[in-house]
Chains A and B, each alone.
Chain A
Amino acid sequence: MDIIITGFLLGGTYALIAMGLNLQYGMARIMNLANGEMLVAGGFAAFWFWTAAQVSPLLTVFVVAPVAFAANWLLYIVFLRPLVKRARSRGQLEVDAILTTFGLSFVSVGLMLAVFGGDYFSYSYLSFPVHILGDSYGANRVAAFVSAVVICGALWLWLDRSRAGLTIRAIAVAPDSARLVGIDVGKMAALAFALGGAVTATGGALISTFLTLDASTGVMFTLKALIIVIMGGVGDVRGTIIAALALGLLETFVATVIDPGLTLAAAYLLFVIILLVRPQGLFGRRSA
């Protein structure tokens, strides 16, 4: 029971992070390998606001999200739009995007190392226990989970019900046909990419309340988010949430029962199984 609830709390936050990547990869069609660095940057911002002015991370989010939105929008316009324009095929865009975002990821790690140094960052926020079903859990984990659920829910509603959400889903499913019905694919892709970055940075701010981060942990989160997105089916919101919860459960199980050093190995094994059994993801459609 203990494992299940802890796993669920962790999985909820993972869902938020993976949702950000899904917006970027599933909707905007950019495999963003610098996604984890955006998360760490969000976490650092929360840390900094908390230690400097005791601003609650739950409030910092309202600063982090717009800033990350603007930063990712700029990244898309400056670095990625030229690649989209020059790419002759989806495959070439993928290779270019992978190399570019790896480059951006290393540059941001380098910059964060220069500014913050290589130390671990953690701070104590809401670190009192909360009792759920007889066991106690950190209040910060519960708060992060609840915020993640609220944000995920709002995102899902927005994607599912609003006109802008419909347009974004349209460019995810059929970018070429979307153009024919008068959708500005370039603009919407930039919007989806920026929104994805904002969601991931928000997730970073939330996750920093209970996990220790350092400048170079970003790539771990990128890997986990990628595994979740692929497992859930690229571009599928429902699948992402379920896959994130599954990964949270699996990691917590492995960490408590076997060894905390094996969490990434477990996630990786899960990924291998998905690739072998169902490469299109839990809810994905098999492509031709």
Chain B
Amino acid sequence: MRLTSNDWRNLTLAALGLAIAACLPWLLGNYALTIGVTIAMYTVLATSWALFSGPTHYISLATAAFFGVGTYVTGIGIQHLPYWTLLPLAGVIGAVLAALVGLATLRLSGVYFVIFTLGLAEFIRQVITWGQNVSGTKGIYVLTSITEAHIYWQLLGLAALVYLLGWAIGRSRLGFALRIIGDDEQVARHSGIHTARAKILLFLVPGSVAAITGAILAPRYVYIEPSLAFAPMLSFQVVIMALLGGTGRLWGPLVGVIPFTFLWEAISITVPNQTTLLLGVSFLIIVYLLPKGFVGLFGAIRRRMGSEGLV
């Protein structure tokens, strides 16, 4: 694999950004660190979501399901296994679940996939709740010495992994195949690409990453119960942040995550009942005003300035 000077520049910039982000816990107060964890979490979730949904145009609402499974892996596993084994375990379980979902739906049209993933979190939640009722247990306590800063660093590490993976996929044969599928699935099939397999393989990424994220964040909740771990709102927030930023570039979702997190925080503090309204309006803004997200907007502005000779 040969890297151009452009690649080296991007890699250096990314490493520098990561190093600065890693120093933040020493500089920020507690509240700012909480926001930092939220931003890091959504960056990981939205970027891995966009890796799959960007090229394939399949809208996955399964994030909450994978995330919830991940929190339960930590919640149940921490009593029996050392902590460091839990994150890979969550990743594997998430990937297996994603493969099953993919096998069932990714051969079919996008609508089936949306409905299937929308129902998945609710399905697992009902089954776990039922299991708890039958066995007479309630939620699970996750008591660890893991601090907010530890969670933040783990998420940063995961984010670095996701970016590296996204970059590697973009350069691989799989990435090339996916770009063709996104352009025209029929053409892709005729040129000998196994479209269903490519989509299923790629769907493993958001599945496994979301499960690991859930496993990392479980100690933050202290007390885990199904309605908290499988909150459906999470899936929608991730979709909005990724689309708001734009899925055309690897760094696109990050551009959506940061402003949306602050907006969400502000709205939840001032008018907590209106967060659903905010979600709805954001969806409409994305469809009618920003179909390519902020990334597309930047591109359009740059082109216009270029054509008027300003740049």
Residues of chain A at the chain B interface (Cβ within 8 Å): 31, 79, 82-83, 91-92, 94-96, 98-100, 102-111, 113-114, 118, 216, 219, 223, 226-227, 230, 258-259, 261-262, 264-265, 268-269, 271-272, 275-276, 279
Contacts and interface: CB of A to CB of B under 8 A. Distances in A.
B201 to A, nearest CB: 20
B189 to A, nearest CB: 12
Contact of A264 (B112, B123, B273, B277): B123
B57 A95 contact: yes
Given A106-B236, A279-B108, 5 more contacts: A100-B283, A105-B280, A110-B277, A261-B130, A265-B127
B211 to A, nearest CB: 20
20 contacts: A91-B109, A94-B109, A95-B110, A96-B287, A98-B59, A100-B288, A103-B279, A103-B281, A103-B287, A104-B284, A108-B280, A110-B278, A223-B115, A258-B130, A259-B133, A259-B134, A261-B130, A271-B115, A271-B119, A275-B116
A264 to B, nearest CB: 6
B108 A107 contact: no
Interface residues of B, number: 40
Contacts of B284: 79, 100, 103-104, 107
Interface SS majority for chain A: helix
A285 to B, nearest CB: 15
Interface in B258-311: 273-274, 276-284, 286-288
B283 A262 contact: no
A268 B122 contact: yes
Given A268-B122, A268-B123, A275-B105, A114 B282 contact: no
Contact of A268 (B119, B134, B232, B274): B119
B236 to A, nearest CB: 7
Nearest to B184: A89
B146 to A, nearest CB: 32
Contacts of B277: 106-107, 109-111, 113-114
A31 B111 contact: yes
Contacts of A226: 115
Contacts of B105: 275
A107 B115 contact: no
Given A107-B277, A109-B280, A95 B59 contact: yes
Contacts of A219: 118, 232
B126 A271 contact: no
A79 B283 CA distance: 12
A104 B59 CA distance: 17
Contacts of B130: 258-259, 261-262, 265
A275 B108 contact: yes
